[in-house]
Amino acid sequence: MSMTSAITHTPTRACLAGEDLDWLGHRSVCVAADLPTRIQVAASGAQDPHPEVEATATAVWNHMRRSLPGPTVTRRPAVSVDASAPLASGLSSSSSLVIGLLRAFARYLGVEVDGAALLEWSYTYEYEIYHGGGMDQTSIIAGGAVRTEGRDGSVPVLTGCVPFPEEWRIVVVDSATPKSTVRHLADVRRQSQEGDRRLDDYITAADRCAAQVWSAIADSDLTLLGSAMEQAHTAMRDIQHMSSSVLEDIRQITRRTVGLPLKVTGAGGGGSMIGVCPRGDAGEIQRSLSRSLKEAYPRAQVLIADAVPVTGELEVARPHTRSGATGLILK
């Protein structure tokens, strides 16, 4: 057992297409973003000043102890947490925190945990709270760009994991407006249980967009990527009502100022939107857009991030079709 650990860096993720499809049985595409959560643990020390971080650390510690065989340390070490991604932004900062805590606690205890176990532990922990899917945890642990095929009640199947094009950078525009993942997931589960045909329409559109996004990444086709992300946002907004007047105004300002298409990432209704731009344009986009948003949305942030490299921690399965899925052949 280590008295003080090195700092654990855990990325966040941006969903390029396929929100909710990770538990509805269809395709999602995400990219791990280098906007990390940094965690350090020590045998003793001051508590993190944020009560919600302390509560999560205790819950994750107890969850991990139940997963480990045999007796282990009962007293939770102190934690210190710092994050680059805005909270409640749709960048899966909560999954990043949970995975980072699991890694840091394992290192503190001298326990080796492989990627598959880390995925199972983090997914199980969050499923008990949110009843969502596992694309977030899969993306964060796998790194790079990932394609998943959804499952409900278990981790999704990882059907693709490739490096994100080096010449691209991720643009995050955080609206600083609140969102509720719990409420959103409850609404979508109710749609699913009631057989809401609007959900079927959304699934068809989002799954198609995920296929286009994956093709765009494979071909390094930024024009196709932007078009597919725009279509994904339209489906989220018009069918599932996952946008807001603030988000739409910020999208219009962004399009007018720098010509960049943005889409909601995560549960929507608030939080962040994402775009992808050429590496050489990223600095000017950040400066110009920050100036344009300052008057109307002084709390909004424009962040630029690289994609995280592929880690090799998760095995890619052969994609296949499933009964009740889209019937499309995964390539």
Give domain status of residue 38, yes or no.
yes
CB atoms within 10 A of CB 291: 11
How far apart are alpha carbons 253 and 111 in whole angstroms? 49
Decide if 317 is inside a domain. Answer: no
8 A C-beta contact, residue 212 and residue 224: yes
- Inside any domain, residue 297: yes
CATH number at residue 90: 3.30.230.120
Q: Is 115 inside any structural domain?
A: yes
Tens-place pLDDT, residues 64-107:
988 887 656 778 999 999 999 988 889 999 999 999 999 999 99
Nearest to 89 by CA among 37, 133, 23: 37
Residue predicted with more confidence, 260 or 87: 260
Instruction: In whole angstroms, give the CA distance from residue 125 to residue 147.
Output: 22
For 295, the token pair is 């008057």
Q: What angle do CA 100, 168, 273 make, to 5 degrees?
A: 65
Residue 296 belongs to domain spanning: 8-305
How many other CB atoms sit within 10 Å of the CB of residue 278? 12
pLDDT value for 267: 86
Q: Does 325 reside within a domain?
A: no
Q: pLDDT per residue over 96-119, tens digit each?
A: 999 999 999 999 999 999 999 999
Among 20-34, 56-70, 283-297, the least confident range = 56-70
| The two three-digit tokens of residue 200, written as one number | 């079927």
Residue 324 host element (H or E): none
> How far, in Å, CA of 79 to CA of 111, rounded?
18
Q: For the chain, count helices (H), then strands (E).
A: 10, 9
Residue 29 lies in a domain: yes
Q: Is residue 310 included in any domain, yes or no?
A: no
Name the domain count of the chain.
Answer: 1
In a domain, 321, yes or no: no
